[in-house]
Amino acid sequence: MVIKINEIISLLTTRIPLGNWVEALVDFIINNFQGVLDGFSALIGFIVSSVETVLAFPNPFVLIAIFALIAWKLKGYKLAIFVVLGLGLVHNIEMWDPLVVTLASIITSVLVALILGIPIGILKAHNKYIDYITRPILDFMQTIPPFVYLIPALMFFGLGNVSGVIATVVFAIAPPIRLTYLGIKQVDEELKEAGHAFGANWWQILFKIELPGAMPSIMMGINQCIMLSLSMVVIAAMIGAGGLGQPVLRSLNMVDIGLGFEAGLGIVIIAMVLDRMFGRDS
């Protein structure tokens, strides 16, 4: 009896080697799935550099004009003026090149997050098991400090933009999933019933009733996704992602207040432009 109790106590007080397990898992993935990781890395890298090439190709002022035009089409002339002034200022303080790099990473991250996130949100809304499984994972991804997964990202994908994009996607994918799910859940049952009554199939219900009904919510998810991606710019710079995060980090190391402010202002401006362009109408 006595021995058994002692055994139980020693078992209960044994430290669970959680950290070791995670390390072992990361090692296992690196050792066995290097090929897959490399392929994924190459794909993401290709997207980022392609977007960057496209954005860097035209003269900066041409690009600003294009952005202003899009802003005008989407939200009106006031935003177009703001775009011209804001991006013009970024160009003036010589932050244009890092801005293009940042923009390319953001666009890639948001694209990946949406391409994965919206279908996951749709599945989550239709399948309660997927809902149960994704819920704790999403909580985990939303609350764990990004610094924690910078290192595994670094080990999987190496130093540079790709790791930055992956870390950003992990950080920013929760809102599109959650808000797509929420939007579909909020679609009136009677509307879906009407769809069924007229003989709509699963896809017709999805594309003609659920997604249009969920659109405001999904748009909010996209907006949140963009904003969260921007908030990762500096952190991603720590694992080698280029762009506006780099001068901010450098200014931190060199106590260069001026440089830090200029780069920070660049991030603020691009954030405001994107938020206004893809945000809710007030």
Partner 1 sequence: MNISRPFLFLKSLESLKSKTSGVKNLKIQVNNLYKIFDGKGKKEIEMLKDGISKDEILEKTGATVGVNDASFEVKEGEIFVIMGLSGSGKSTLLRCLNRLIEPTSGSIRVDGKDIMELNKDQLREFRRKKFGMVFQNFALFPYRTVQENAEFGLEIQGMDKEERSKKAKKALKQVGLDGWEEQMPDQLSGGMQQRVGLARALAVDTDVLLMDEPFSALDPLIKKDMQDKLLDLYEHIDKTIIFITHDLDEALKLGDRIAIMKDGKIVQIGNHEEILTNAENDYVAEFVQDVNRSRVLTAEDIMDKPKAVLYNQDGLRTALHKMRNNELGSIFVLGENRKYRGIVKLEDVVEYINKDKEDIEEIIQDVPIAEPDEKVDQLFAKIADINTPLPVLDEENKLEGIIVKTSVLANLASENV
Least distance from partner 1 to the Cβ atom of residue 208, Å? 7
Given a contact cutoff of 8 angstroms between Cβ atoms, the answer to whether 157 and 39 are in contact is: no
Q: Is 281 in the site for partner 1 (CB under 8 A)?
A: no
Residue closer to partner 1, measured from CB, 88 or 212? 212
Location of structure tokens 């058994």? 4
46-50: Cβ within 8 A, 24+ apart: 47/108, 47/111, 47/112, 48/104, 48/105, 48/108, 48/161, 48/162, 48/165, 49/104, 49/161
Q: Is 243 in the site for partner 1 (CB under 8 A)?
A: no
Q: Is 185 in the site for partner 1 (CB under 8 A)?
A: no
79-87: Cβ within 8 A, 24+ apart: 79/276, 79/277, 82/272, 82/273, 82/276, 83/273, 86/269, 86/272, 86/273, 87/63, 87/269, 87/273
* The pair of three-digit structure tokens given for residue 180, joined into one six-digit string: 């797509």
- Pick from 80, 100, 82: nearest CA to 91: 100
16, 128, 198, 281: residue in contact with partner 1 (rule CB under 8 A) = 198
The stretch among 19-27, 29-37, 208-216, 269-277 that binds partner 1 (CB under 8 A) is 208-216
Q: Is 42 in the site for partner 1 (CB under 8 A)?
A: no
Which DSSP helix (H) or strand (E) runs through 175?
helix 174-185
Least distance from partner 1 to the Cβ atom of residue 192, Å? 9
Q: Is 196 in the site for partner 1 (CB under 8 A)?
A: yes
Q: Is 240 in the site for partner 1 (CB under 8 A)?
A: no
The stretch among 188-196, 217-225, 234-242, 267-275 that binds partner 1 (CB under 8 A) is 188-196
Query: Binding string, 209-238, against partner 1, x = CB under 8 A?
Result: x--xx-x-----------------------
Residue closer to partner 1, measured from CB, 177 or 209? 209
Given a contact cutoff of 8 angstroms between Cβ atoms, the answer to whether 177 and 134 are in contact is: yes
Q: Is 136 in the site for partner 1 (CB under 8 A)?
A: no
152, 195, 266, 279: residue in contact with partner 1 (rule CB under 8 A) = 195
Cα gap 235→257, rounded to integer Å: 18
Tell me how many residues contact partner 1 (CB under 8 A): 18
Given a contact cutoff of 8 angstroms between Cβ atoms, the answer to whether 138 and 85 are in contact is: no
Q: Is 70 in the site for partner 1 (CB under 8 A)?
A: no
54-58: Cβ within 8 A, 24+ apart: 55/100, 55/103, 55/104, 56/97, 56/100
33, 188, 254, 261: residue in contact with partner 1 (rule CB under 8 A) = 188
Residue closer to partner 1, measured from CB, 103 or 205? 205
Q: Is 175 in the site for partner 1 (CB under 8 A)?
A: no
Residue closer to partner 1, measured from CB, 205 or 270? 205
Least distance from partner 1 to the Cβ atom of residue 181, Å? 19
Q: Torsion angle of alpha carbons 117, 123, 127, 129, nearest 10°?
A: -40
Residues forming the site for partner 1 (CB under 8 A): 188, 190-191, 193-201, 204, 208-209, 212-213, 215
